[in-house]
Structure 1
Amino acid sequence: MSRFPLVSAVAAATVLAVSGCAQLQPPQPKPLQANEIQSQLLQDREAVQRDVEPLAATLTLDEAIARALKYNLERRARLLEQALAAQQFDASRYDLLPKLLASAGYTARDSDRISLSTNLDGVPTGAAPQLSQERRHLVSQLDLSWSLLDFSLAQYSSEQAADRVLAAAERRRKATHQLVQDVRVAFWRVASAQRLQSDVQDSLKLAEEALEDARKAEAERLRAPLESLRYQRQLTENMRLLESIQHELGTARFELAALINAPVMQQTTLAVDKEQPEGDPLAMSAEAMEDMALAQNPDLREQVYQRRIAATEARKVIARAYPNISFNAGPRYDTDKYLVNNGWAEAGVQVSYNVFNLLALPAQKRAAEAGIALADQRRLASHVATVAQVHVAREQLVGARQQFERADALWKLDDKITRQLASREQAQAGSKLERVAAQTTTIVSLLRRYQALAQVHAAQSKLQATLGVDLLPNSTDDMSLARIASELHTQLSATPTAAQAR
């Protein structure tokens, strides 16, 4: 009779479970609501500017780079990637510890466990059946186990996690070098916009006046129609060129604001004390630059770490082919009243081996060796690319300096021509068209001069990045903005030397 309540309970639980599963619905798409979007936007807007020092009235190049290194959100993401890799490395070390497993269970049956005795021939001995176990009892145990194979694999995984931390650090260095280069180019674009803004507006105003005068002269037939139309066309073409320059430079401050994590609508004046970058990287010989780049270029160093990870993976493949030896020990407890000893301790040693590992081992070894060969090939390709980049960056810096000298000379000549034409117009010996055309040419020359200057800074930054020169220590979180700017000024004005190799 005792069997039926338990069977009924099991049947009822089964019916409830099946009916509950039948009523489960798959998750449905939940689009964001307007209030959720608005709330998230407010939180993000606050988080973007949290702990960011406000901009001063003026901004120097050193401070712009310092702000980018401290507040740029992309760089913060790179730092978090490195921190995540470090946390994963710390977590992987716990896999080296033995496993301590505590478990408890409840056992119930609907009939007693009764056993009969027979002799060796299977004939019943006639002894009364024996009851050897309670229908319901609790079992608990604590197992401390340690596997030699698991320990070896965890050791290799920890080594790989450590190398991934170092590889993430090299990717962060590369991103930092690129960020500095982008800031220097954007800074001089904004500086050129700042310098050209008033000249462009004055020239556009003068062109508008000249165009209005030309239209009046055409209406009053003071000039030949074809000459008047050509005059207006040349003025309109100059205005179009000036407006295109104005629109092109108008976006520069927004790009710089995004790089330094500053409010995009905030106006600030750039302080341009020295146009040319300080220090002369070209004072270092090409051979010394090659040695320096091969020692600390972030791309090449990352490939070295990737090769170490691939080599460790090959050792893991070999380790899996060995037999496993495991040890376990721990106390046990059972509430069964028929046991003489309800509590006891167990210990054991087990040797196991998966024979099918022998079948998979050749293919796994070939895959691991292919991974090592790929890592070696990538490292060699990075080696050659780094050497080439050193010489390309050197030539680009030389060429950028020459282009700047030519652009500077052209601007000075155009500026003198503009001044001469302005004097002629005042003496009524020249026309407004000539003056507008000369001013437009001067503005274009000045724009090209600033573009060439930006290329000089970009080329010098690229050369420093190729050499792997780090402008600051690994972390800027604990450094003030003024201190970062001060150290940057020192580093940017220094000439790279082989002693700076990491």
Structure 2
Amino acid sequence: MTQERPFRANPLTACLVGVALLGLSACSTLAPAPLSQGDIDLANQADRETARKDVQPVTGPLTLDEAMARALKYNLDRRVRLLEEAMALRQLDVTRLDMLPKLVAQAGYSDRSVERATFSSPFSPVYGPTSTDSSFSSAPHHSTLDLGLTWSLLDYGVGQYNARQQADRVLIAAEKRRKAMHLLMQDVRTAYWRAASAQQLRDDVTRTISLAEEALADSRKVEAERVRNPIDALRYQRQLLENLRLLEAINQELLSAQVDLANLVNAPLGQTIPIAEADVPVTPDHVVKLPVQTLEEVALRHNADLREAHYNARIARDETHKVMARMFPNLSFNYSLNYDSDKFLVDRNWQEAGLQLSFNFMNLLTGPAQKKLAEAGVALADQRRVATQMAVLTQVHLTRLQLLNARSQFKRSEEMYATDRRISELGRLRESAQAGSKLERVSNDTAAILSLLRRYQAMAQVQVAESRLLAQLGLEPQIGSTDELSLKDLTAQVKGEGNPWQRLVVSK
């Protein structure tokens, strides 16, 4: 009979138990910790400072080219798109590293409460110790160190496809950035001409509102004195009130234009941005006369949505290749340098190498289903590309028609404004000659203001329609890095590239 050895407490074991208990108690006391109001205020202040960092203030009249340059350089949403593209590129670098062999260093320490003593027995049908003598084969406590290199052929093959897919995702991020730039240019053009109309109409609207309120007060005074028929006075007041309602609606529409423009160019929201006087840009006539087949060809080559669909289809095909690669046997190689401080070892340092071939037989069952799923993904990506292509071609036709209609509406609005302006001037002359009433002047001035507003709105619609057609064709200003270029240089590049239609023949 052998005697059981008494249990020997170990300081390291007690320490580990204590750490485990401390960790469990810490996990049990975790509770939601909402942000304090002070933390939120500090974060909001830091965010405002970050948003305004390195943003040059608007010091003079803002031109359309400078507004676009400021939007490209300072717009916060565009910064997000640029960071998303940079993040996708960094992810590509990380994915490429996955193809490298794994070099792992390990260190450990082992301790037993009692020594590992064993009995030995010769081979016999009846198992059991034949001797009461025991021996030790390892020390109760020892440390180990090893440095191992492992390389798997399957991991390398799958890593190749992962890197190709991530490279396509980088290109997709670039296409999304292009699309976001097209939308930003549309918004800047619309907001700029709205702000220009607000600046042009501000004084006229204010003056006409004051004149209408003065005429309304005079009419109510006449009504109170019963100098005229009450029904005539009330009709007169109603017409004045209707004009006032239109003028106040115009004023409200114009007030928001500055806020929209300031948000797009990342300027202080409370700052009034002066708009430079500029000629109205007109789409070249040869553009609208181009055959629609030419526009279709350009769109099929350069449209951002369609190019993104092509990359997604390529990602889906690489996913099929990955599924097929996982169905092959895996060949792995490992090599390691080892050290063990166990005093019972004859050689405490040794090298170890191995070559292993493995195959998961469950792939024979799951492989066909995974392959069908990947092929379904390819079919879905192809169908989405076909649908995107038809949608792009449809939008090319629609935006071309919208541009033609917007040009026609702008031409008609200019003619109406010229007529209403002459009527307003004649009305002022009639009033100065006491041949006309204030109501007539207010009505004429209101009509002229409305015509001028519609002219600017029609001008903005021409710009929007042109920007949409450019976006569908995939044409955008060819500019350098917005971070490296100064605002002055970027404005010059935008001005030099301000007419992307000139590259239409080159892009065919």
Q: Report the TM-score range of the alignment, normalised by the length of the smaller protein.
A: over 0.9
Partner of 1:111: 115
In the alignment, does 2:27 pair up with 1:21?
A: no
User: How big is the shift at 1:279?
Assistant: 4.2
For 2:22 and 2:429, the matched residues in 1 are separated by 97
Distance in 2 separating the partners of 1:100 and 1:305: 34
- 2:146 maps to 141
Do residues 175 (structure 1) and 180 (structure 2) align?
Answer: yes
Aligned to 1:319: 325
The answer to whether the Cα contact below 8 Å between 2:323 and 2:371 also exists between their aligned partners in 1 is yes
Using a 3 Å threshold, how does the CA distance of structure 1 residues 9 and 443 change in structure 2: closer, same or farther? closer
Give a deviation string over 1:283-316, Cα, whole Å, max 9, x none: 5332221111100100000000001111111111
Correspondence for 2:458? 452
Matches within 5 A, 1:287-302: 287-302=293-308
Q: Say whether residues 1:263 and 2:280 are aligned partners.
A: no
Kindly report which structure 2 residues correspond to 1:368-383, keeping only aligned pairs within 5 A, or say none.
Answer: 368-383=374-389
Q: Give the SS at the match of 1:139.
A: strand
User: Which residue in 1 is equivalent to 2:423?
Assistant: 417
Partner residue, 1:230 = 235
**Does the Cα contact within 8 Å between 1:117 and 1:127 map onto a contact in 2?**
no
2:7 aligned with 1:4: yes
TM-score scaled by length of structure 2: 0.94
- 8 Å CA contact 1:283–1:495 kept in 2: the answer is no
Query: Unmatched 5+ residue regions in structure 2?
Result: none
| Closer, same or farther: CA 494–371 of 1 in aligned 2, 3 Å | closer
Q: Which residue of 1 aligns with 2:401?
A: 395
SS at match of 2:351: strand
Equivalent residue, structure 2, for 1:330 = 336
Change (3 A) 1:130 1:221: closer
C-alpha deviations, 1:263-297, integer Å up to 9, x for none? 11112211122112464532533222111110010
The answer to whether the 8 Å contact 1:303/1:382 transfers is: yes
Q: Distance in 1 between matches of 2:179 and 2:232?
A: 58
Q: CA RMSD of the aligned region, Å? A: 2.1
Pairing 1:65–2:71 present:
no
Match of 1:41 in 2: 44
Aligned counterparts of 2:282 and 2:240: Cα–Cα separation in 1: 38
Letter of the structure 1 residue corresponding to residue 118 of structure 2: I
- Which digits, 9 at most, give the CA deviation of each residue in 1:431-457, with x for residues without a partner? 111111111111111111110000001
Distance (whole Å) between structure 2 residues aligned to residue 47 and residue 305 of structure 1:
34
Shift in CA distance, 348/482, structure 1 to aligned 2, threshold 3 Å: same
Q: 1:91 aligns with which of 84, 87, 94?
A: 94
Residue type of the alignment partner of 2:420: D
Q: Structure 1 pair 12/3, CA: closer, same or farther in 2 (3 Å)?
A: farther
Asked if the contact 1:324/1:353 (under 8 Å) is kept, the reply is yes
Partner letter of residue 428 of structure 1? Q
- Matches of 2:61 and 2:353 in 1, distance apart? 75
Instruction: Measure the CA separation in 1 of the matches of 2:263 and 2:155.
Output: 48
Matches of 2:371 and 2:460, distance apart in 1: 52
Q: Which amino acid aligns with 2:110?
A: T
Q: Which residue of 2 aligns with 1:492?
A: 498
Aligned residue-pair number: 502
Question: 1:19–1:390: structure 2 CA closer, same or farther, 3 Å change rule?
Answer: closer
Match of 2:191 in 1: 186
Alpha-carbon distance change, 328 to 392 in structure 1, aligned in 2, over 3 angstroms: same
Q: Note the C-alpha offset of 1:218.
A: 1.2
CA distance in 2, matches of 1:314, 1:417: 72
Contact 1:279 1:493 in 2 (8 A): no
What are structure 1's unaligned runs of at least 5 residues? none
| Residues 411 and 445, structure 1, Cα contact 8 Å, conserved in 2 | yes
Post-superposition offset of 1:378:
0.7
Alpha-carbon distance in 2 for matches of 1:181, 1:350: 60
Could you list the per-position Cα deviations for residues 205-254 of structure 1 after superposition, in whole angstroms to 9, with x for gaps in the alignment?
11122112111211222111100111111111111110110011101100
Structure-1 separation of matches of 2:34 and 2:138: 58
8 Å Cα contact 2:119-2:133 kept in structure 1: no
C-alpha deviation, 1:17, in angstroms: 3.5
TM-aligned CA distance change 1:30 to 1:134, over 3 Å: closer
Question: Which segment is superposed worse, 439-448 or 36-45?
Answer: 36-45
CA distance in 1, matches of 2:296, 2:441: 51
Structure 1 segment 473-484 matched on structure 2, within 5 A: 473=479, 475-484=481-490
